[in-house]
């Protein structure tokens, strides 16, 4: 196995076409997304998109444990502490890559087995064919590190049914394959041991002369494997708790919502863990989530990525991100000293600062996204 952070290959397919495969290749970090990975993926995806011989792209992670566990948080922490430009550059290029996937003109099949969190969900959410398996463990746990559900979270969580998106953003709750299908973050459930067979079936496709039909041909292949895997689909905690989630998140304001979630009494492993994560989370993030959801509800995808870039830089600028990562991953004391320390002490002025980027009256770094 090469030590390159992303592996690229193409396989000859039917009608003179090819299947392209990109593999995130950092098993030790659970394929966490680095700047190098972003810099490799973006131009290669563009080249494949422009290559008439490429019919479809498969994006996967090395090993069975994870598709992608998120961004390279330790490097982002280093950048924030040292106050260099690396974190801002990463967010900008990461969001560009995510947007590139959202707007890709050829089918992208994401094999979302194992851990899919944060930046990994950013890669997967915009793909045309998002596959989850019985091992998929999906979450946007940014509240634990003083960030917010970024990488397009404003877009895909706002579109989840009922108030499930808000609940998942506030609690960082882990969801499974059935949950992902229910809330619209996945398209197909296929057993994890069928990857080789799926790839072989895609290679065997006799591709149409009309590129517009490629997506349907991919769906035709995946549909058959989904039928074979149906018995392994787990139960969906989100679906099971749908009415409770909607009731708990129906508050007068975000503080009322949080109080309702924390005050819920019952013996339920999934909900109790969600409560615990929220209780220990960053108070400022709670307000950031409320604002990103309300402001982003009717924004276009480019506008959302522009808003999220300002927010991400703001989180690093005002210190809660550094403190959250320090407590969780650096010193590992699990005792973050977030500022302000309580939800009630977070002012609207402090929240608003996170929506104002450092570029002032100059052009936004993502102004070219259309």
Q: Which residues are catalytic?
A: 71, 119, 142, 150
- Cα separation, 110 vs 59, in Å, equals 5
E-strand spans in 155-254?
Answer: 188-189
- Cβ–Cβ < 8 Å for 32, 72: yes
Name 289's Cβ contacts closer than 8 Å, sequence gap at least 6.
143, 148, 149, 166, 169, 170, 254
- Cα separation, 125 vs 121, in Å, equals 6
In DSSP terms, 9 is beta-bridged to: 21
CA triple 359-362-367, angle to 5 deg: 90
- Cα separation, 62 vs 67, in Å, equals 7
Phi, psi angles (nearest 5°) of residue 131: -100, 135
- Cα separation, 302 vs 95, in Å, equals 10
- The enclosing H or E element of 286 equals helix 283-296
Which 3 state secondary structure label does DSSP give 31?
Answer: coil
- The enclosing H or E element of 56 equals strand 54-61
Tokens, residue 300: 């276009």
Peptide bond into 262 cis (omega under 30): no
Name 341's Cβ contacts closer than 8 Å, sequence gap at least 6.
283
Q: How many CB atoms lie within 10 A of CB 261?
A: 21
């Amino acid at each position: 196995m090469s030590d390159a952070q992303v592996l690229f290959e193409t396989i000859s397919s039917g009608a003179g076409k090819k299947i392209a495969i990109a593999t995130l290749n950092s098993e030790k970090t659970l394929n966490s997304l680095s700047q190098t990975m972003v810099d490799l993926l973006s131009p290669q995806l563009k080249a494949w998109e422009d290559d008439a011989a490429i019919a479809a792209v498969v994006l996967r992670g090395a090993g069975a444990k994870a598709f992608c566990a998120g961004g390279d948080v330790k490097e982002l922490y280093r950048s924030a502490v040292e106050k260099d430009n690396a974190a801002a550059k990463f967010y900008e290029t990461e969001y560009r890559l995510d947007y590139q996937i959202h707007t890709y003109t050829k089918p992208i099949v994401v094999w979302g087995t194992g851990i899919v969190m944060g930046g990994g969900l950013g890669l997967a959410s915009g793909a045309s064919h998002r596959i989850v398996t019985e091992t998929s463990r999906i979450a946007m746990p940014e509240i634990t590190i003083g960030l917010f559900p970024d990488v397009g979270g404003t877009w895909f969580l706002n579109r989840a049914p009922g108030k499930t998106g808000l609940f998942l953003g506030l609690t960082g709750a882990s969801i499974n394959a059935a949950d992902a299908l229910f809330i619209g973050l996945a398209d197909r459930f296929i057993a994890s041991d069928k990857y080789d067979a799926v790839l072989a079936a895609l290679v065997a496709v006799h591709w149409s002369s009309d590129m517009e039909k490629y997506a349907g041909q991919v769906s035709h292949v995946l549909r058959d494997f989904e039928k074979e895997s149906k018995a392994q689909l787990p139960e969906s905690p989100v679906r099971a708790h749908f009415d409770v989630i909607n009731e708990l998140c129906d508050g007068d304001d975000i503080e009322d919502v949080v109080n309702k979630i924390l005050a819920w009494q019952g013996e339920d492993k999934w909900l109790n863990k969600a409560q615990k994560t929220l209780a220990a989370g960053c108070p400022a993030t709670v307000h950031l989530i409320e604002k990103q959801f309300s402001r982003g509800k009717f924004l276009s995808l480019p506008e959302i990525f522009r808003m999220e870039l300002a927010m991400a830089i703001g989180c690093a600028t005002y210190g809660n991100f550094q403190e959250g990562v320090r407590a969780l991953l650096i010193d590992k004391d699990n005792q973050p000293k977030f500022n302000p320390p309580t939800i009630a002490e977070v002012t609207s002025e402090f929240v608003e600062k996170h929506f104002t980027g450092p570029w002032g009256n100059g052009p936004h770094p993502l102004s070219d996204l259309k």
